[in-house]
Amino acid sequence: MDPAIDFNALYKPFDTVLMGRKTHETMTRLGGTGAMPGMDVVVFSRTLAPATHDGVRITAEDPGQIVAALKKEPGKDIWLFGGGSLFRTLLDAGVVDSVEIAVIPVLLGSGIPLLPPGASTKLVLADHKVLQKSGIVVLSYALPRSKRYAPDIAIRYIRKPKAKGPKTASGKTAVKRTPRTVKRSATARR
């Protein structure tokens, strides 16, 4: 856990969460129902029986078609919360608009790959943040082939570090003033 991460701000842009069966089962093994408060959860599985309960819908339908339909509906953004195989399927279906990767400073000798083998996908760096306390690096990328391509998908859930520097006569930190700029912000939305 890094104190710079504002989890409320992390969840705020989303109202729909996608996950694969393994991620869903991990969440339920930890004592939950797989539901996420304030969000609709869609679990894609070829082995679990289709069902709807407690804000969770389990489906065996085609993930690309389901997500394409969800993107046409009004609402907030859609978050692929887990599942490398599901990520590959949605990437191949062309419904992924952005990818955010957190590089955590731990060396592993083995593990689960980010996604299974398949076609390569070009990404365009949109934003990055370095969390000084933990050493985590968060990278945000846009997919240029997406119809909803947005070159500046900003990472908005990292709290800014408190300013350090010389103190003024009143004891407050002196801040160097720079000219103001206007930045156009666009996000890939449904």
pLDDT score, position 1? 80
Q: Is residue 184 part of a domain?
A: no
pTM of the model: 0.77
Q: Hey, which of 28-32, 49-53, 149-153, 164-168 has the most confident mean pLDDT? A: 49-53
pLDDT score, position 127? 92
pLDDT score, position 131? 95
Q: Is residue 32 part of a domain?
A: yes
Q: Is residue 188 part of a domain?
A: no
Q: Is residue 55 part of a domain?
A: yes
pLDDT score, position 171? 57
Report d(CA 148, CA 183) in Å as an integer. 18
41-53: average pLDDT? 94
Q: Kindly report, residue by residue over 163-189, the tens digit of the pLDDT.
A: 666 666 655 555 544 443 333 333 334
Q: How far is CA 32 from CA 29, 57, 86, 110, 185, in A?
A: 7, 15, 21, 28, 36
| Residue spans of alpha helices (H) in the chain | 7-11, 21-29, 63-72, 84-93
Q: Is residue 166 part of a domain?
A: no
pLDDT score, position 147? 56
**How many domains are there within the chain?**
1
pLDDT score, position 188? 39
CATH number at residue 133: 3.40.430.10
pLDDT score, position 19? 94
Q: Kindly report, residue by residue over 110-161, the tens digit of the pLDDT.
A: 887 888 998 899 998 999 999 999 999 999 998 887 655 454 578 989 988 7
Asked if the model's pLDDT at residue 74 lies above 70, the reply is yes
| Maximum Cα–Cα distance across the chain | 68
Q: Is residue 75 part of a domain?
A: yes
| CA dihedral angle for residue 56, residue 44, residue 80, residue 35, rounded to 10 degrees | 20
Instruction: Pick the more confident residue, 152 or 58.
Output: 58
Range of the domain at 16: 7-142
Q: Is residue 173 part of a domain?
A: no
Q: Kindly report, residue by residue over 1-25, the tens digit of the pLDDT.
A: 899 999 999 999 999 999 999 989 9
pLDDT score, position 148? 55
Q: Is residue 181 part of a domain?
A: no
